[in-house]
Amino acid sequence: MDSAISMTGLTKRFNDKTVIDGVSLDIPRGVVYGLLGPNGAGKTTIVRMLSTLLKPSSGSAKVNGFDVLSDPIKVRKSIGVLPEDTGLYDRLTATETLQFYGGIQGLSGALLQGRIEGLLKMFELYDRRQDRVGKYSRGMRQKLALARALIHDPPVLLLDEPTLGLDVMSTRAIRDYVKNVAKEGKTVLLTSNNMYEAQLLCSRVTILSKGAIRASGTVEELEAMSKARGLEEVFVNLVRSESGV
Amino acid sequence: MSKARTIKLVAKKEMVDILRDRRTIITALVVPLLSFPLMFGAVGYFANPTSNPSPVLIVNQDGGNVSSSLQQALTSTPGLVVSTRSSANVTGEIRVGTYDVVLVIPAAFSTTISSGGRANVTMYFDPTNGRAETGASLISGVVGDVSQGIASSRLQQKGVTTADLSPIGIASTPIGKVQSVGTSIAASLFPTFLLYFTFLGGFYFMVDDIAGEKERRSLEALFSLPPPRSEFFLGKYLVAFALSMITAVLGLIGTVFSLSELNFGGGQATPIISLGTLPAIFGIIVLAALSLSAVGFCISTFAKNIREAQQYLSPIFLVLFIPLYVTSFLPPSQLSQYAAIPVLGYTLLMRDVIIGTATISEAAFSLATNLVFLGVVVWLGLRLLNSEKVVLRST
């Protein structure tokens, strides 16, 4: 069975600066996969290349079997993206937001309405569905952005720091959803700085630093490899050794 | 999903979003419809001596027949409301504002004139008061006429004729199309203000559009959707164009109303733009709206954020007024060649359409260069929208 996401020698340069340096990675279907790394490690750049916003300078990447360079439209149909910033339209209501994104994804009529109602209820936004998004709290906005990513029921989800800056209740709601989503056969690529979250949600993780992979595996494999206890210790050891600290 | 459906969805979303912004409602709908009627209405009312006459005090210290004739001539002059006294605190009356102008006719004025001498009247007014300036000008005219009448009478008595005093006369014969004052004003102001309104309509949308999406970081989610960026471009472009057209049409209605019904210029109210020219003007505005929206879209896409987009877009308003100044100093025969200048040339083409001197070759040349310009700008807009460097920069 092919991978949900595969990267081979994926490289991205901005002018002379290499921000992603030959990343090769295979992410199987139906898992929550963690892409971890300190700020500036290149996590967001990888998500942007997988969502076809950025073109790789060299190497290749496939999402749901489609190449990001030769089949960008099919790639975009296969993914739901939650960017680091929600990027919602403040003057639209939650319902209008999902109607717009669902419509662009090709949904319409009762199917679209059903999806909108289901997602708004699932994320406890249904009672505020007619409120403009500008009046929403950060947690509500994040949940709505996740609902937007899910509106077309994509097989692959790219979640960039999904719980960053959220309160406890919103964080819990999003984590609960991510935990369950893999059971439905979806693949989640989750970037995070939060090692507790990664340990809780991800079946496998890759630690990225300065645009290159430092380690990949299950949490247990990484603990054994770096002779540390807990993902946070593994991460700190790897990043420190990389920085020469 | 069909291309048309994406464009429609994007356009609908943008329209709902922008029309919930009070700034857009005010700039796109209220300003163009009301600004000209209000501006010209106020100017027309206050600048017209008939509706806003100047209060004048004549301090007649003479009481003779010549001063009485002068007083009578001033009283019957439209635009002056004349009061008469034999004495007054002249500067006090002006300072308090009871009178705009005080005219003092000195004692022995009539006697001096009747005996063939020269006598002066003195006018007092505040030159910073525009209505007083108008009043003083009317008084000068009346005094000049009365003085000339007395001079003619004196010369006749001495056997001197008008030909003796002014041996060379001037007869003026206008060549070319003769327009009413209203049409001339319309031909010079109307195209510039129409272009201004056309750009104004889409201005806030264009500022808020791609630059605003960059600032709010909503482009990433939008461009992660399946349709190609050209379809998002067309949807947004359609809205910028629609807003520009709405504003232009409202501006057109407001301007035509102002120039015809509000009697701008103080002349007789007459239709200043022939109805037959309106379809051609509308056609030019459609093309101008397409070009201005495309230019605005390019700039908004290039800008990092809303503030930068505003800084880049605002000077365009000033550029649109350049033809208004230039055309005042060039003969009409030399103007049509400038109609080929992209966007600004539409001003000259509209002017010639209103006056009735537009030729087919002028229109064809202007349209050809403008369509090429439009194509280039749309191509540039799409190219910018597909540029990683341009689209993802936001700080």
For residue A83, give the nearest of B1, B221, B388 by CB distance: B221
Contact between A104 and B1 using a beta-carbon 8 Å cutoff: yes
Contact between A54 and B218 using a beta-carbon 8 Å cutoff: no
Question: B321-359 pLDDT, tens per residue?
Answer: 888 777 777 776 777 778 888 888 888 888 888 888 888
Domains of chain A: 5-89+156-238 (3.40.50.300)
Contact between B388 and A103 using a beta-carbon 8 Å cutoff: no
Contact between A55 and B388 using a beta-carbon 8 Å cutoff: yes
Check CB contact of A83 with chain B, cutoff 8 Å. Answer: yes
Distance CA A55, CA A53 (A): 7
Q: Which long-range contacts (CB under 8 A, 24 or more apart) does B319-327 make?
A: B319/B344, B320/B192, B320/B195, B320/B196, B320/B199, B320/B344, B320/B347, B321/B192, B321/B196, B323/B191, B323/B192, B323/B347, B323/B348, B324/B188, B324/B189, B324/B192, B327/B188, B327/B351
Contact between B17 and A53 using a beta-carbon 8 Å cutoff: no
Q: What is the pTM assigned to this prediction?
A: 0.80
Contact between A53 and B388 using a beta-carbon 8 Å cutoff: yes
Q: List chain B pLDDT tens, one digit each, 395 residues.
A: 688 999 999 999 999 988 888 877 777 777 777 777 777 777 767 777 778 889 999 999 998 899 999 999 999 999 899 999 888 888 888 888 889 999 999 999 999 999 989 999 999 999 888 889 989 999 999 999 999 889 888 888 888 887 887 788 888 876 766 566 667 777 777 888 888 888 888 888 888 888 888 888 898 899 999 999 999 999 999 999 998 898 888 877 777 777 666 554 444 445 567 778 888 988 999 999 999 999 998 998 999 888 999 899 888 888 888 887 777 777 767 777 788 888 888 888 888 888 888 889 889 988 999 999 999 999 999 999 998 888 776 55
At A107 the pLDDT is 94
CA distance A179 to chain B (A): 23
Check CB contact of A48 with chain B, cutoff 8 Å. Answer: yes
CA distance A15 to chain B (A): 10
At A94 the pLDDT is 97
- The token pair that represents A220 in the structure block: 């247990």
The number of residues making up chain B comes to: 395
At A145 the pLDDT is 94
For residue B220, give the nearest of A83, A104, A105 by CB distance: A83
Check CB contact of B225 with chain A, cutoff 8 Å. Answer: yes
Q: How confident is the model at residue A1 (pLDDT cuts 50, 70, 90)?
A: low
Contact between A83 and B20 using a beta-carbon 8 Å cutoff: no
Contact predicate A189/A200, CB 8 Å: no
CA distance A109 to chain B (A): 14
Contact between A53 and B220 using a beta-carbon 8 Å cutoff: yes
Q: What 3-state DSSP class applies to B79?
A: coil
Contacts with A92 from chain B: Cβ below 8 Å: 13, 16-17
CA distance A244 to chain B (A): 32
- Residue B137 makes CB contacts below 8 A (sequence gap 6+) with none
CA distance A185 to chain B (A): 22
Contact predicate A21/A211, CB 8 Å: yes
Residue B9's closest chain A neighbor by CA?
A100
Which runs of E-coded beta strand occur in chain B? Answer: 54-60, 80-85, 101-105, 122-125
Check CB contact of A46 with chain B, cutoff 8 Å. Answer: no
Contacts with A76 from chain B: Cβ below 8 Å: 224-226
Contact between A100 and B9 using a beta-carbon 8 Å cutoff: yes
Question: A13-57 pLDDT, tens per residue?
Answer: 988 899 999 999 999 999 999 999 888 889 999 999 999 999 999
Distance CA A170, CA A2 (A): 34
The number of residues making up chain A comes to: 245
For residue B223, give the nearest of A53, A91, A105 by CB distance: A53
Contact between B226 and A76 using a beta-carbon 8 Å cutoff: yes
Check CB contact of A104 with chain B, cutoff 8 Å. Answer: yes
Check CB contact of A66 with chain B, cutoff 8 Å. Answer: no
Residue of A55, A89, A99 to mutate when probing chain B, most B C-beta within 10 A = A89
Secondary structure element (H or E) that encloses residue A40, with its range: none
Name the phi and psi angles at B26, rounded to 5.
-65, -50
- For residue B81, list its beta bridge partners: B55
Contact between B221 and A104 using a beta-carbon 8 Å cutoff: no
For residue B217, give the nearest of A54, A85, A92 by CB distance: A85
Contact between B220 and A105 using a beta-carbon 8 Å cutoff: no
